[in-house]
Amino acid sequence: MKLKAILFALLAAVATVTQAAPASEMISVSTEFIRDGKTLKKFEFLGQNGAPQPYQELTQIGYVESAVKNGKKWGPKPGTFVEGINAVITPRVSSGGEILVNYFFDYQKLIRFDKEMFGDVEVQRPISEVFNRSGKFIIPSGESREISAVVRGVKWQLIITAVRQ
């Protein structure tokens, strides 16, 4: 009985200390994605220190990926092309108070389908433009980092800003 009382007192003390602990720090992150000087997408979030923040804006487009033999005839085999933005950004406050940003960003847009005949089946091949980057960097709170590249004559910019709240 005495052991139960000690255990209960210990659990109550731990619960009190846990409730008194400060909440996790919040970080506001904004992202701007630019193609040849034109903003394609802006998004922002307020997340906990160290918590991955996913962002997805995706569309699935069906097409005829290939031809498969079904008995003596060839038939279409469906495929799916995924278009849009898929990103994960993880901000973390460093011991020095700066923000370490770990990011993954993937963009894909369908330009057209090239077509060719395979027997009686018209097979499609997606032609797309792609920009994908991942990495990490450290910035002072409130500042931005620009990740840019020129791919096939197109200038891409990804601007990430992080602010401690």
Helix (H, G, I), strand (E, B) or coil at 14: helix
How confident is the model at residue 119, as a pLDDT? 82
**Residue 81 corresponds to which amino acid?**
F
Residues found in the chain: 165
Backbone φ and ψ for 103, nearest 5 degrees, come out as -135, 150
- Looking at residue 107, what is its pLDDT? 98
Residue 1 inside a domain? The answer is: no
Query: How many structural domains does the chain have?
Result: 1
The whole-number pLDDT of residue 124 equals 97
68 part of a folded domain: yes
Query: Does 5 map to a domain?
Result: no
Question: Phi and psi at residue 2, in whole multiples of 5°?
Answer: -65, -35
- Residues whose CB is less than 8 angstroms from the CB of residue 11 and which lie 6 or more positions away in sequence, other chains included: none
Contact 105, 134 (CB under 8 A): yes
Averages of pLDDT over runs of 10 residues in the chain (165 residues) are 39 35 74 98 96 97 94 92 98 94 98 93 96 97 97 96 96
Contact assessment for residue 141 and residue 10, using Cβ atoms and an 8 Å cutoff: no
Q: Kindly state whether residue 17 falls inside one of the protein's structural domains.
A: no
Q: What is the pLDDT of residue 40?
A: 97
Q: Does 14 map to a domain?
A: no
| Residue 146 CB burial class (10 angstroms; 0-12, 13-18, ≥19) | exposed
Domain that holds residue 148: 24-164
Note whether 56 and 31 are within 8 A (CB).
no
pTM: 0.78
What is the model's pLDDT at position 146?
Answer: 98
32 domain-assigned: yes
| Tokens encoding 61 | 């487009």
Question: Does residue 7 form part of some domain?
Answer: no
Q: Is residue 31 part of a domain?
A: yes
pLDDT of 118 reads 86
Residue 20's CB is within 10 A of a number of other CB atoms, namely 7
